Structure 1
Amino acid sequence: MDEVSNTNPVLEIVVGTLILIVVIFVHGAGIRVINRQFSKSWIRITKNTSHWRPNLLLAATIASLATLHFAETLIWAVPISVRGLIPPMRDSYYFVLENYTTLGEGTIRLPDQWRLLGPIIAISGLFTFGWTGSVLVSIMTEFGRLDRDRAKNSDGGISSGDADVDG
């Protein structure tokens, strides 16, 4: 434990930055895999595909994104627990989740010599949640296109303005 008490801010920042880079890399690789799988599945969906299939694809994609975030928080929690900064893994994971989501109001804290890790964990959460949000916007754009195609198909291609002219 002497090693923990002798930690300096430069080491904190270096260690935090290295883990941050690993988390961002894992997120990027995970996002690419999830996005690729979504795209492969999406190309088989047409305006005639039953409604439950795209919704099931959306649910599976969201579950994959959530799983990716849980894996990334483990990347933070394991070294914090193993190094004895917050020994019980459950407490370590709780601490990381609070900081990663930027809630940050917990009763569990890092030793003072390592407290800079908390904000660095929050930075990783901000980056990865922002990235996930942009992916979800892209996915929901595809759903909007599908819904428009289905609406056009159900109207027979006639807009409400055209129907008023005829009738």
Structure 2
Amino acid sequence: MKMTLIPQASAAALLLVLTLCLQCAGVAALVEWLQGVTAKGAQGFGPVWSAVLVVKSTIAIIILHGLVILLWASFYRLQCFPSWELAFYFSSSSYATVGYGDVTLPSRWRLLGPLESMAGVLMCGVSVCLLFPTITRLMDSDPRHSRKLGHANDPVSLKGDPYASEQNYA
């Protein structure tokens, strides 16, 4: 049996670095855009504008993940599969950790599928980390929600929470 760990590890390292670069650049651009949109504060956005902002952000994130999937699919198309459809299908099911198993990589490249799944989970986590503060900021700017939510570091919001200790936040 031929040794394939070094080519697999090399390809995986390159694909993972490119994935990180693409994701970080995309997130940085999205953060820059969001900061520009909300520079004057999110007050007065209203529910429709807030929803539009969240939808636009989510679409941008989905496009970003699509580009990462396309990156991996390009490698699979060149090295593993005879068609783009098969390569994109395998890549998207691996990235989303669905992994049906109806299409598999050749044994020479079989370590890449699980590594793409790991990258997909991590990149989705990065995306959630971007959406969460965006939605929180929009909710904090709306007086109907900010009174109910409080702030994470605000001891006043801990009143009535039997699991919170005032001394942890002093």
TM range (shorter): 0.7 to 0.9
Aligned to 1:74, the other structure's residue is in SS state helix
Write the mapping of 1:43-82 to structure 2, written as runs, cut at 5 A: 43-82=39-78
Q: State the structure with bigger RCO (CA 8 A, min sep 6), 1 or 2.
A: 1
Length, aligned pairs only: 147
Partner of 1:98: 93
After TM superposition, list the pairs within 5 Å mapping 1:147-162 onto structure 2: 147-148=142-143
Gaps of 5+ in 1: 153-167
Q: Give the direction of change, closer, same or farther, for the CA distance of 1:7–1:90 in structure 2 (3 Å limit).
A: farther
Larger radius of gyration: 1
What residue ranges of structure 2 are gaps of 5+ in the alignment? 148-170
Report the equivalent of 1:14. Answer: 10
Structure 1-normalised TM-score? 0.80
Whole-angstrom CA distance in 2 between matches of 1:106 and 1:142: 41
Question: Alpha-carbon deviation of 1:49?
Answer: 3.4
Q: Which amino acid aligns with 2:59?
A: A
Cα separation, 2, equivalents of 1:46 and 1:23: 32
TM-score (norm 2): 0.79
How far apart in 1 are the matches of 2:4 and 2:74? 21
Q: Structure 1 vs Structure 2: percent identity of aligned residues? A: 20
Q: For the residues of structure 1 that align with 2:125 and 2:83, how far apart are their CA atoms? A: 30
